[in-house]
Structure 1
Amino acid sequence: MGPPLAALLGSLLVCCAGLTKGLKITSTDQPMVEKAQGEKVTLPCTFTISQEDTGPLDVEWVLIPTDNLKKEQTIVMYSADRIYNDYYKEMNGRVQFTNPDPKSGDGSIHILNLKSTDTGTYQCRVKKAPGVESQKIQLTVLVKPARTKCYIEGSQETGSDLILKCASQEGSPLLSYNWRKLTGTKELPATSLLNKDTGELSVKNASQEYSGSYSCVAANRVGTDECFVVLNVTPPINTAGTIAGAVIGTLLGLFLLAFLIFCCCKKRKEKKYEKEVHHDIREDVPPPKSRTSTARSYIGSNRSSLGSMSPSNMEGYAKTPYNQVPSEDFERPSGQNLNFTPSKYDLAYKIHDITVV
């Protein structure tokens, strides 16, 4: 090896030694971070600089989209001794440097109130000419299980097959489900089969011993949620007896309704008949008879008159034949006054009429 070649190698070693003493990111490598929605996450980015790094310091955080066709999005940056955090509207007010002065060597950031849309790859870039360093972190925002519901599908009769189901309305995959019995023996039925991925607990040939309270716990890597259901296994219902009772009850109801209708119709006919009869009677009543002289009144009047006559006058009166008395209307009207007393002149006139006849 000649002197020129040795000198060249020495120069390269010096240069390499100088580069290793320049800008360097010292934070622990964390390729993936998982956090729950609504929580806060800290993305680390610490670094060191050397005397060779003489340019201005820039610390920039960018969000690299999973879609390669989309551009990177700057979310926060420190440059020229100023902090700029209004580049990305989706994180306005939710992202900040952990140290207000990144020149101290700490370019880490906080992201507050995480959302599921914050999931992505974040890159910290530190620039101080001639040095440039970067570090990537994959952030996954998980949603805790929430609004978990438990219910029973199938008949809860002895000997039937049924399914206890459990499902969360919210929650990031992968969700797992686990059923527990809270009462009695606190053991799942011997004929049951659990599917942790779907949350279904299938029960074959159910018996009354399986009755009780059950709980289902839905879980993922960031949280859990629980729901409850009560299983009540009962003997089979006597369907034939129920149908017969319903039919008999219906027939009795129809019979009662028909009886009430019949009674109402009968009552209405009776009232109508009474009104018609009363009306006919009033129309058929004959007018009252005129107060004419009758044979009875005539004889009665003469008898009254005879009581006031003398014996000498009775001879002519006694000779009068009774078969010549008029026969018309011999009955006396009920309204005639029986106490009427004629005068002697009226009696003489009537006796004379009788004698003449």
Structure 2
Amino acid sequence: MAPGSAARRLLVLLFLCSASTRALELETPNPKKLERAQGDKVTLACKFVTGLQDTGTLDIEWALLPADSQQSDQPIIMFNGDQVFEGHERLKNRVHFTSSDPKTGDASIEIINLQSSDSGTYQCSVKKLPGRLNSKIVLAVYVKPAKTRCYVEGAQEIGKDLSLKCESKEGTIPLLYTWGKLTGKEQLPPTSSFDTNTGVLSVKNASQEYSGTYRCISQNRVGTDECLVMLNVAPPSNIAGKVAGAIIGTLLGLAVLGLVIFCCCKKQKEKKYEQEVQHEIKEDVAPPKSRSSTARSYIGSNHSSLGSLSPSNMEGYSKSRYNPVPSDEHERPSSQAPNFIPPKVAGPNLSRMGAIAVMIPAQNKDGSIV
């Protein structure tokens, strides 16, 4: 027998012996710690090799180990009897085996849409009696910096001190901030200093040369975010003029407001007065009858009484009523007659004084009524 063929037979026998005695083996995951951003996906590796002596049913289980050792493990996903079972409610529909047939030796899993709460230690357990092995992987899920805001604090005037501030509303700490200038002299002012932890860029004795666009970058282990701010350093403004303008504007506003209130009050009073006058007119008593109508009725009654008199029956009345002119001997001398002339009063004035108009019948010379 040739020496070469004998050596080959020896190698085959050694391989067969090792295969018959080899037990279940797990590959060590590399790396053992993974860092991912929230919203991303991750693959947790777990590969194994079985031996001829491993004759039991293959059983694969992934579990999330609690931080407190006193608590029990939380099963995530399992493979047993050619079936897959999901056990963790929080990871439901977000975790699956990467291989369609884990029996081939690949028990790796993939988790999608990672959340910060998914951080922890994951354990892969492969059991095929009589063998059973475990491997662990640490997963850290971070939140990327987001909603970063830049702004200037302080007066943007020559010779003044001011600060450029940068802050991210979201992001897993620690966050580091860096500042840079994008326009003009692309260097930070020589009188400036900034803190990488707080994101504050302090500028002393500002100059117009410091004007320009500045950028702040916020970063952590899994991502970055940035914001821009415009710095415009100008000469000092006329503060006294601004104050005077503000005071004048306030006074004018108060004057206009007072005028509006006055007009409203005046209009309200006029409206109220009109309503009161209309109310008084409605409740007023009807005026009394005028005296002129009474006088007319009285005159009419006299006319009716006089109209019934005739010359025959007026004879006695005329003789007894109208006496002849007295004789001269009984007549007073004209020199001794009173010289009194009654004042003349107009008819309208007599009506106002309450006089009643009366019609006197005319007479002939013999005293008879016409």
Task: Please show how residues 164-175 of structure 1 align to structure 2 within 5 Å.
Answer: 164-175=164-175
Question: Counterparts of 2:94 and 2:250 in 1: how far apart (Å)?
Answer: 70
Map of 1:3-18 to 2, 5 A cutoff? Answer: none
Residue equivalent to 1:53: 54
Cα pair distance change 1:60/1:249, threshold 3 Å: closer
Aligned equivalent of 1:39: 40
Distance in 2, matches of 1:89 and 1:256, equals 67
What is the alpha-carbon distance in structure 2 between the residues aligned to residue 97 and residue 160 of structure 1?
Answer: 63
TM-score normalised by L of structure 1: 0.64
- 1:52-201 mapped onto 2 (5 Å cutoff): 52-85=53-86, 87-201=87-201
* Residues 1:247 and 1:167: Cα distance change in structure 2 (over 3 Å): closer
* Preserved contact between residue 156 and residue 162 of structure 1 (Cα < 8 Å): yes
Q: Is the 8 A contact 1:123 1:137 kept in 2?
A: yes
Note the alpha carbon deviations across 1:179-235, whole angstroms, 9 max, x for none: 111111111111110111111111111111111111111111211111111111121
User: Which one is further off, 230-239 or 104-113?
Assistant: 230-239
Is 1:239 the counterpart of 2:242? The answer is no
State the 1:70 CA deviation.
2.7
Question: What is the Cα deviation at residue 154 of structure 1?
Answer: 1.5
Deviation at residue 25 of structure 1 after TM alignment: 0.5
Matches for 1:209-288 after TM superposition, within 5 Å: 209-244=209-244
Q: Which amino acid aligns with 1:55?
A: G
| 1:89 counterpart SS class | coil
In the alignment, the residues of structure 1 paired with residue 218 and residue 195 of structure 2 have an alpha-carbon distance, to the nearest angstrom, of: 12
Deviates more, 1:247-256 or 1:111-120: 247-256
Over 3 Å counting, the alpha-carbon distance change for 1:257 and 1:150 in structure 2 is closer
Match in the other structure for 2:283: none
| 1:239 Cα deviation from its structure 2 partner | 2.5
Contact 1:27–1:47 (Cα < 8 Å) also in 2: no
* Number of positions where the alignment pairs a residue of Structure 1 with one of Structure 2: 267
Distance change in 2, residues 1:51/1:243 (3 Å): closer
Structure 2 residue ranges without an equivalent (≥5): 1-17, 263-370
Over the matched positions of the two proteins, sequence identity in percent amounts to 54
Is contact 1:33-1:140 (8 Å) kept?
yes
**Change in CA separation of 1:20 and 1:123 when aligned onto 2, cut-off 3 Å:** farther
Where in structure 1 do 4 or more consecutive aligned residues deviate above 4 Å?
17-20, 244-258
Q: Is the 8 A contact 2:19 2:52 kept in 1?
A: no
Q: Residues 292-303 of structure 1 correspond to what in structure 2 (within 5 A)?
A: none
Task: Please provide the CA RMSD for this pair.
Answer: 4.1
CA distance in 1, matches of 2:21, 2:192: 65
Quickly say closer, same or farther: Cα 1:246–1:199, change in 2 above 3 A: closer
TM-superposed deviation, 1:64: 0.5
Whether the 8 Å CA contact 1:146–1:171 is kept in 2: the answer is yes
- CA distance, structure 1, for counterparts of residue 115 and residue 253 of structure 2: 64
TM-score, normalised by the number of residues in structure 2: 0.62
Cα offset for 1:29? 3.4
Deviation for aligned residue 1:256: 11
- The structural deviation recorded for 1:250 is 7.6
Q: How big is each residue's C-alpha offset from its partner over 1:142-200, in whole Å with a ceiling of 9 and x where there is no partner? A: 11111111111122121111111111111112211111111111111111101111111
Match of 1:310 in 2: none
Q: What is the rounded CA distance, in whole Å, between the counterparts of 1:72 and 1:177 in structure 2? A: 39
Report the Cα distance in structure 2 between the residues aligned to 1:98 and 1:112, rounded to whole angstroms.
Answer: 12
Equivalent position amino acid for 1:110 in 2: E
Structure 1 residues 160 and 51: alpha-carbon distance in aligned structure 2, compared to 1, 3 A threshold? same
Aligned CA distance change for structure 1 residues 100 and 214 (closer, same or farther; 3 Å): same
Report the counterpart of residue 26 of structure 2 in structure 1: 25
Gaps of 5+ in 1: 1-16, 262-357
The superposition leaves residues 334-354 of structure 1 with CA deviations (integer Å, 9 ceiling, x where unpaired) of xxxxxxxxxxxxxxxxxxxxx
Instruction: Give the distance between the partners of 1:61 and 1:249, measured in 2 at CA.
Output: 73
Equivalent residues of 1:97, 1:110 under 8 A apart: yes
